[in-house]
Amino acid sequence: MTLSMSYLITIGPGAIASELLSWLSYLNRGTVLLQLLLVGLVMVAEKRGALRRSVKHRLLPEHIRVLIGPILLLMSSALFLLVGLPWGLLRYFGLLWLGWMLFTPLKTLLLSINKKFPVDELESTFLRPVYVIVATISFIRLMGSTENLAQTPVANLFGVELTLGRIYVAIIAIYVIMTLSSRPATFLAWLSGVLFGVRPRNRRGLELLFRYSVIIIGIIGVAYFIGIDGTAFIAIAGGLSVGIGFGVKEIISNFISSIWLLFEGSVRPGEILMINGDPCTVRKLGLRATQLRRGRDGAELLIPNQNFFTQEATSFTATETSRRDGVVVGAAYDHDPDIIVELLKTIAKEHKKVLEYPPVNAFVIDFAESSINYKVLFWVSNPLDAFEVGSDIRRTIWKQFEQKGITIPFPQRQVYPMEWPPSLQQSLHSTRGGGVMPQGIQPELTGSDEEPHSKA
Amino acid sequence: MEASRLCAPIRRNRYPIALLLSTALLGGCGMTDGRRSIVLKVAQASNENEQRTPHRFEAERKIGKDFQQQLKEMQPGIKLHPSIYPEESLEKELIVQTNSGLGPDLVIADSNQALNLVTLGLTEPIQLTKERQNLINPAALERVKTASGSLAGQPVSQYLQLACFDKRKLKKAPTTLKELSEASGKGTIFGMVTNFQDLYWSLGSFGAGEALATSLAGKKATVAAHARLTEWMRWLKASSYQQNIVFVPNQATLRKALIQGDMHWISCWSSQLPQLREELKEHLGIAPLPSGEFGRATPITRLQVWALGKNSSKRQRAASLNLLNFMVQPWAQKTYALKYRKGYPVNPAAALIVSKQLPQGFKAFTEDENKRITRGDAIVSAIDARPKLEKEIKSTLNQLIFDGLSPEKAASELETQIKLKR
């Protein structure tokens, strides 16, 4: 049975299906069924907690009680062996289960030896995948011949016959390359730091570049291993170009953007960018998207790489990291602007995170309705500190103004009810006041949309 | 409300119920395979010495697939599912599978291995009726007889050792060792394997087998027999000095050299003929191995034996026995021998029919020949069963062919090795 996908790629799952169906013939055998049923029963009992409940909590800790199921299977296999029945399946499943359950005690042991040991990473990236691979191969070996299945042709890619074994090895190899590529890349980046004095911040970008190189070389190596040669690569490239045109344009665009950005060095891990007015730190430059952490609320932002490539972005770390920020404050008209300006400069200068150079400066920026407005401008070395420094300076300004009797005026509003239409007496009263409202006191209408007299 | 109360126990026990249902369903599928045919798992041993290539087993797999198709027409109720293993690892794989109840229904191996497997309890001895036994050559049956007199399996076919040559380079294969030597002097390149089993054919030409058979029996060889063994060693040594007689470590290398044209004549096995035919097409020549002054060549044969697995269900066992019966009937013996042209029938009636139609090399393989080669098979199977002895003999032969070991010393060493390890 061959399902034709196109004239270049053919997939024939018939051989695998036939191999898998042949495994079902084992179910004709009573001894196999008996073993499988026993495994199923023990697993169901374990799942429903029957096994654990039967053992007193105080007697055995939890991580030992989870081993009851597999041990029960192993004991049953020994019993089967004694009575002369086939026992290997029970032992296989027992050992498989026991091995899986032993991860937890193993982790505990490793952590007790060294608390800093990256146990979780080791477990998820190495131990469990290796376990799954070993379990799969041993299972196939038990059911038939691993070589038989490995030599089963499943697809034909540009004239190259891909067997199941080659595909399996290729998947494992790609996984290993993807997982382990960071190690040599980190080493190379570190080496370039030592040898050529590359700064730590640039090293992270370099590391990513090395990693991509290792992955690309690895994937080409795997492709050659499975038999895809130069001609096939050209055919794949031809196919991909059509694919890129239609379906995967965005993915490729993001990937190319990430490579370009790395070379350009404008978006590197550790950079600080303004995204919608918020400073964000670049955490990771991925293949598709850049991961940023927003300083304001710690939110993780995932922004497609091509956004940085095609749209403008504000960086505070592209060439130098310092950032200028300002605080606007108003003081009453009574006070001499020179004094205020000097005071503001002093306050800003005294903050320990404000840079001495470029110097602090303060300006009168507006004669506003109720106050003279000033702006004090200062530089900080870390853009993420600007928000905090601004807050500190505002607090100090309030305290200093309070001490020195400088008032910060603000508009005040009085609300009083008014008759409408106004009686003659009231109208005369307001007219007698000169028609001018005291500063900051404005009448507010209640229950009407019409303009007050004073504005009319 | 009532319905939900009824469903509660089902819901509570949904895992065991699902397990039971799926097992029953899958079991049903496995039993009928959709078309009421039964799947028989077959484990087939392949000689690693002949398979050291990147696509090992490819040719065997191709033939296996074709055979499955052929069988489907004649035995629609049986579907074979073969797995090929290197001869060396078959035993280990069978132990793991049989202990789990997942052993094959049929095991295809050579006679020595079949005997070994039944001794280890990995296959069942087979009971053949008198009628069935009459269908099989008695010499072949003798080779699968265990110490207790039962049969380790049923012989189905036998593979012969032959001479394969490229007709473009060599018009006619040498019939004697003298002709071989002369042809090599004229530029024809001959290839042989440094394996004792693969070189055994040449012992007959010198009458050297007797010395080894005596040693195997634990006795001292006569002076004349020892002299003939030494003569054989001398011939080996002299051949190694010849520029155009090449010794290689395994059969696969030899075959590759013939296909690529680097060699013009090689000693080969009939089991590998399909591969050579595919590559050399009509240029492939097949001939009997050359004789010597003392007598004819004594090629050994490999018997293809079908043995019964240990774990089969009643239905699978019945189907296996049915298939075994079918395989030795004259029709099947004749048809498959002529179709694949790689093995000689074990059924004497079929052998008589096909011997005229099989290639040149097969013609010489008559009933008498079968009896004559029994001595060689006994010696070779004794060596096969002792890997350490096999290694020692190979080392002696290598030293003789490639190093400075003298033929006299090598002959004595070989006798001693066989006598000590018997």
Chain A hits for B43, CB-CB cut-off 8 Å, are 145
**Is B75 within 8 Å of B33 (Cβ atoms)?**
no
Q: Are residues B105 and B207 in the same domain?
A: no
Can you give the pLDDT at residue A434?
40
Q: Do B114 and B73 lie in a common domain?
A: yes
Question: What range defines the domain where residue A257 resides?
Answer: 248-315
Query: Mutating which of B33, B102, B106 best tests the A interface, going by the most A Cβ atoms within 10 A?
Result: B102
B69 near A CB under 8 A? no
Which chain B residues are Cβ-neighbours of A51 within 8 angstroms?
none
Tokens representing B395 are: 């080392």
Q: How confident is residue A396, by pLDDT bands cut at 50, 70 and 90? A: very high
For residue A93, what pLDDT is reported?
Answer: 95
The CATH number of whichever domain residue A286 belongs to comes to: 2.30.30.60
Q: b/e per residue, A24-41, with b = 16+ CB within 10 A?
A: bbbbbbebbbbbbebbbe
Alpha-carbon span A389 to B35, nearest angstrom: 81
pLDDT class for A54, splitting at 50, 70, 90?
low
User: What total of structural domains would you count in chain B?
Assistant: 2
Report how many domains make up chain A.
3
Which chain A residue is nearest to residue B32, measuring alpha carbons?
Answer: A25
Contact A295, A382 (CB under 8 A): no
CA distance linking residue B93 with residue B309, whole number of Å: 13
Which positions in chain A touch B57 (Cβ < 8 Å)?
147, 151
Residue A200 lies in a domain: no
Whether B54 has its CB under 8 Å from any CB of chain A: the answer is: no
What does the alpha-carbon distance between residue A139 and residue A282 come to, in Å, rounded to a whole number? 45
Residue B5, pLDDT score: 56
Map tokens 């060693």 to a residue: B233
Compare all CA atoms of chain A with the CA of B14 and give the residue at the minimum distance: A44
Q: Which of B20, B30, B96 sits opposite A141 (nearest CB)?
A: B96
Cβ contacts (< 8 Å) between B61 and chain A: which residues?
Answer: 151
**If contacts are CB pairs under 8 Å, which of residues 20-59 in chain A contact chain B?**
21-33, 35-37, 40-41, 44, 47-48
d(CA B199, CA B241): 17
User: Quick check: is A377 in a domain?
Assistant: yes
Place of tokens 């190690």: A183
Residues A87 and A145 in one domain: yes
Indicate the residue among B329, B346, B363 that finishes a domain: B363
Complex ipTM more than 0.90, yes or no: no
Cα separation, B167 vs B264, whole angstroms: 8
Count of other CB atoms within 10 angstroms of residue A61: 10
Q: Do B255 and B395 fall into the same domain?
A: yes
Of B291, B347, B312, the C-alpha closest to B174 is: B291
Q: Is residue A67 within 8 Å of A33, Cβ to Cβ?
A: no
Which residue, A383, A391, A333, A313, is CA-closest to A355?
A: A383
Chain-chain contact of A30 with B102 (C-beta, under 8 angstroms): no
B314 and B292 housed in the same domain:
no
Task: Look at residue A1 in the predicted model and tell me its pLDDT.
Answer: 39
Distance CA B421, CA B389 (A): 7
**Which of B346, B363, B380 finishes a domain?**
B363
Residues A309 and A335 in one domain: no
Contacts of B99 in chain A (CB under 8 A): 86-88
B residues 7..36 contacting A (CB < 8 A): 15-16, 19-20, 23, 26-27, 29-31, 33
Question: Chain B residues with CB inside 8 Å of A26's CB?
Answer: 30, 41, 101-102
Map tokens 């399946």 to a residue: A89
Beta strands B123-124 and B78-86 are unpaired
Whole-angstrom distance, CA of residue A432 vs CA of residue A437: 12
CA A67 to chain B, closest CA, distance in angstroms equals 21
Of B39, B98, B312, Cβ closest to residue A22: B39
B91 inside 8 A of chain A by CB: no
Q: How far apart are CA A225 and CA A165, in angstroms?
A: 12
Q: Which of B15, B23, B96 sits opposite A142 (nearest CB)?
A: B96
Residue after which a domain boundary falls, among A99, A132, A157: A157
CA of A143: which chain B residue's CA is closest? B102
Which of A157, A176, A191 is where one domain is finished? A157
Residue A308, pLDDT > 90, answer: no
In a domain, A190, yes or no: no
A151 touches chain B (CB under 8 A): yes
The verdict on a CB contact (< 8 Å) between A143 and B33 is no
pLDDT, position B62: 80
Claim to verify: residue A338 and residue A310 sit in the same structural domain? no
Residue type present at position B71: L
Secondary structure (DSSP) of A361-397: EEEEEEE-SSSEEEEEEEEESSGGGHHHHHHHHHHHH
CB pairs under 8 A between A and B: 115
Both structure tokens of A71: 């041990």
Position with higher pLDDT, A206 vs A127: A127
| Closest among B198, B160, B171, B137 to B361, alpha carbons compared | B160
Domain coverage including residue B224 = 160-300+366-420
Other Cβ atoms less than 10 A from the Cβ of A454: the count is 11
Same domain flag for B56 and B203: no
Residues A118 and A12 in one domain: yes
Q: Which residues are A275's β-sheet partners?
A: A278
Task: Please judge whether B97 and A88 are an interchain contact, meaning their C-beta atoms are less than 8 angstroms apart.
Answer: yes
Same domain for A372 and A305: no
Rg over alpha carbons for chain B, rounded to the nearest Å, is 25
- The mean of the pLDDT values for chain A is 80
Contact B40/A25, CB-based, under 8 Å?
Answer: yes
The verdict on A254 and A378 lying in the same domain is no
- Chain B: closest CA distance from residue A18 (Å): 9
Q: Catalogue the E-assigned strands of B76-153.
A: 78-86, 106-110, 123-124
Confidence of residue A436 (pLDDT cuts 50, 70, 90): very low
Q: Do strands B265-269 and B190-193 pair parallel, antiparallel, or not at all (unpaired)?
A: parallel
Q: Tell me, what's the pLDDT at A444? A: 44
DSSP annotation of A299 reads: -
State the smallest CA–CA distance between residue B53 and chain A in angstroms: 13
Q: With 70 as the cut, is the pLDDT of residue A139 above it?
A: yes
d(CA B203, CA B219): 19
**CATH code assigned at B66:** 3.40.190.10
In a domain, A437, yes or no: yes
State the DSSP H helix or E strand holding residue A272, giving kind and residue range, or none if neither: strand A272-275
The model's pLDDT over A324-358, given as tens digits with 9 standing for 90+, comes to: 889 999 999 999 999 999 999 999 999 999 998 88
Question: Global pTM?
Answer: 0.71
Residues B30, A143: C-beta atoms closer than 8 Å: no
Whether residues A35 and A93 share a domain: the answer is yes
Q: Which residues in chain B are contacts of A24 at CB distance < 8 A?
A: 26-27, 29-30, 33, 39
pLDDT of residue A86: 93
Residues 6+ apart with CB under 8 A from B7: none
Query: Do residues B208 and B229 touch, judged by C-beta distance below 8 A?
Result: yes
The answer to whether residues A271 and A342 belong to one domain is no
Whether B30 sits inside 8 A of A27 (CB atoms) is yes
The Cα–Cα gap between A16 and B3 comes to: 43
* B30 neighbourhood in chain A, CB within 8 Å: 21, 23-28
Query: What's the gap in Å between the CA of A68 and the closest CA on chain B?
Result: 19
Query: What is the average pLDDT across A113-123?
Result: 83
Among residues A163, A133, A227, A167, the alpha carbon closest in space to that of B56 is found at: A163
Taking CA atoms, A147 is separated from A36, A227, A328, B56, in Å, by 25, 18, 77, 10
> Which of B61, B84, B101 is nearest residue A89 as measured by Cβ atoms?
B101
Q: Which residues of chain B have pLDDT under 50?
A: 1, 30-34
* Nearest CA-CA distance, residue A145 and chain B, Å: 6
The sign of the CA dihedral B128, B129, B131, B134 is: positive
In chain A, DSSP finds a helix count (H) and a strand count (E) of 19, 12
> Which residues in chain A have their CB less than 8 angstroms from residue B313's CB?
28-30
> Is A349 within the bounds of a domain?
yes
A452 pLDDT higher than 70: no
Q: What is the pLDDT of residues A159-208, one digit of tens each?
A: 778 888 888 889 989 888 888 887 788 888 888 888 887 777 677 777 77
Residues B130 and B103 in one domain: yes
CB A201 within 8 A of CB A270: yes
Same domain flag for A373 and A309 = no
Residue among B16, B100, B313 whose CB faces A92 most closely: B100
| Residue B91: both structure tokens together | 């035993």
**B162 SS3 class:** strand
Contact B15 A22 (CB under 8 A): no
What residues of B are in contact with residue A87 (Cβ under 8 Å)? 99-100
Query: In terms of domains, do A144 and A114 share one?
Result: yes
**What integer pLDDT is reported at residue A433 of this predicted model?**
42
Ordered alpha helix ranges (H), B136-222: 138-143, 177-185, 196-199, 201-206, 209-216
Q: Give the pLDDT of residue B406.
A: 92
Q: Is B40 helix (H, G, I), strand (E, B) or coil?
A: strand
CA B118, B124, B125, B127: dihedral to nearest 10 degrees? Answer: -170
Best A23, A29, A149, A166 residue to mutate vs chain B (most B CBs within 10 Å): A29
Q: Average pLDDT for residues A30-57, to the nearest whole number? A: 83
Asked if A365 and A385 sit in the same domain, the reply is yes
pLDDT band at A276 (very low <50, low <70, confident <90, very high): confident
The distance of B101 to chain A (nearest Cα, Å) reads 5
Considering the domain architecture, whether residues A122 and A257 belong to the same structural domain is answered as: no
